Structure 1
Amino acid sequence: MNIRSSADDLVSRTQAIVAELKGLEGPLLPILHSIQESFGYVPDEVKPVLAEALNLSRAEVHGVISFYHDFRTHPSGRHVLKLCRAEACQSRGGDALADRARALLGIDFHETTPDGAVTLEPVYCLGLCACAPAAMLDDELHGRLDADCLEALVGEARR
């Protein structure tokens, strides 16, 4: 597939998502979530499509994408490891676990391992405060993490 047909495919798939969800009240967030689910991230090429379809400026669309931590503007790794950075997790050793995760993966937050296996993301509360520190590997929550649990999660993601 050439670059032009790839861009055309992004636009046509985005238009289909917009057509399906445009009738919702406050449709931008559900549309963005659907786009990210479909493509794995929110490509720059879809911003003007969304702006036109929802009668918004490109700056407004970009502002929403950049405001919410969950939206990615580049493809993620095959697995996404999210580490909670909120106060409860930090008070229970979250900073040391974050340092360990960065060392094990050889990357920092918002980066992907060179082999494309894992993207490391900070999250500001997974709702597991009573089970801190917490993480999420792909869509699976993990609480009461320690160094051994973290190493097992990283090992699972690297396979």
Structure 2
Amino acid sequence: MSTKTEEHSVRVAAICDRMAALEGPLLPILHEVQEEFGHIPEGALQTISKKLNLSRAEVHGVASFYHDFREEKAGKHVIKICRAEACQAMGADDLGDHAKSRLKVDWSQTTSDHKVTLEPVFCLGLCACAPAAMVDGKVVGRVSKDRMSRILDEVGA
């Protein structure tokens, strides 16, 4: 185990110890770990499973089920494009293709300069303003290709 992995394990164990008394602590712990590191670091799931007395499969199943948990750090800016039905009906697929082409990445990938991560999301609650996106936690409605190009320009992509 590398020194960095050992350090992460100690920090993850401290988060688990602090939050283990919560009812249903797994999701809050995963969120806290991701907040701490920007992702779920290697070895974290094993540490969490030991601390919570859960199988690694259970912890991995939860972490892999939710799209917000990532194994690698996100870029400086995170752009999420809604892929739900209402947004699809209003052109979200073309919008996503435009963003992927412009950034030269696929879904859930980060640009080579680590500036932008592009992620799919399934409903931002702006169905009446479709297609919708989220830029660094801020929800944006009625996003056209031109508007997405301006957003990408603003984040330095």
RMSD: 1.3
Task: Give the partner amino acid of 2:119.
Answer: E
**Structure 1 residue runs of 4 or more that deviate by more than 3 Å after TM superposition:** none
Q: Which residue of 2 aligns with 1:150?
A: 148
Describe the SS at the equivalent of 2:128. helix
2:14 to 8, 13, 16: 16
- Partners of 2:89 and 2:117 in 1: how far apart? 24
Q: CA deviation at 1:71?
A: 0.7
Task: Give the partner amino acid of 1:39.
Answer: F
Are 2:101 and 1:113 equivalent residues in the alignment? no
2:56 to 55, 58, 80: 58
Q: Which residue of 1 aligns with 2:2?
A: 4
Task: Give the partner amino acid of 2:101.
Answer: A
- Partners of 1:20 and 1:141 in 2: how far apart? 32
Q: Percent same amino acid among aligned pairs?
A: 51
Are 2:45 and 1:39 equivalent residues in the alignment? no
Task: Note the residue ranges of structure 2 that are not aligned, 5 or more in a row.
Answer: none
Q: CA deviation at 1:77?
A: 1.2
Contact 2:42 2:71 in 1 (8 A): yes
Q: String of CA shifts for 1:108-138, please: whole Å, max 9, x gaps.
A: 1011111111111100011111111111111
Describe the SS at the equivalent of 1:26. coil
Describe the SS at the equivalent of 1:119. strand
Task: Note the residue ranges of structure 1 that are not aligned, 5 or more in a row.
Answer: none
Q: CA deviation at 1:105?
A: 0.5
- Partners of 1:13 and 1:158 in 2: how far apart? 33
